[in-house]
Copies of this chain bind each other. A is one copy, B any other.
């Protein structure tokens, strides 16, 4: 593992690290914020999964999460959204290939050799983090934005017991029924294995054993693709512990995310510190 950069930030350290990923068969880069408390012992971990076109860097610089994570004594992990580099398959569209891994293990060519993002986030990166940093991997929570909200919800429900709480900002909530989903699931998975990568279907089938928080901007330009109503309905039908908030006037941008980040970090802190 190589240190790309480390900057002091809110009393802790915002680091960027690169490592050879076995799951993705390429070098992968991630951001990790460690609060000051990590100098004295292990701290709990909040994952932030990013959306289409993002790298590890977008949320790390724009979401304003470090202020609140420092206040709560929580680490933040910012993984990349896909494998990258020469020799890694790609597509000209912004919503397929590099920057658009969709948090699945691809079974189809040309994606299968590198696009194993589920395994990367669920297994390889947590193991690497636990070995190299002062993180308490028994206390993890997860959040994300858009495609990353989809990733957070599907990982949380797909890995029971792993995460204490899950939240999402404007998640792709029902990808099996959306053009943000059908295209990518077809390309990466072919005809099968879609259901476990749809937060609404998972909410209907299994739900989440802990609290859920969803924020959705009411003026989001992608509402038709995100389908928040499907997830909200499924949460209510299941009697899922959780909160779904429609935030009037907010769009899909980091200005929306940063506005409600304090709430999300506090929400996860309550689960992580209890």
Contacts and interface: CB of A to CB of B under 8 A. Distances in A.
A9 B255 contact: yes
Contacts of A11: 259
A164 to B, nearest CB: 26
Contact of A219 (B8, B62, B253, B255): B8
Contacts of A48: none
Interface in A61-83: 61-62, 64, 66-67
A259 B70 CA distance: 10
A10 B251 CA distance: 12
Interface of A: 7-11, 14, 61-62, 64, 66-67, 217, 219, 249-251, 253-256, 258-259, 262
Contacts of A7: 250-251, 253, 255-256
Contact of A254 (B61, B67, B254, B255): B61
B64 A251 contact: no
A8 B10 CA distance: 26
Contacts of A256: 7-9
Given A8-B256, A62-B61, A62-B62, A67 B262 contact: yes
Contact of A10 (B9, B66, B219, B259): B259
Contacts of A249: 8
Contacts of A251: 7-8
Given A14-B255, A61-B62, 16 more contacts: A7-B251, A7-B253, A7-B256, A8-B217, A8-B249, A8-B251, A9-B255, A9-B258, A10-B259, A61-B254, A62-B62, A64-B64, A64-B258, A66-B255, A67-B258, A67-B262
Contacts of A258: 9-10, 64, 66-67
Give the one of A11, A61, A256 with max B CB within 10 A: A61
A266 to B, nearest CB: 14
A249 B6 CA distance: 11
A62 B7 CA distance: 14
B67 A8 contact: no
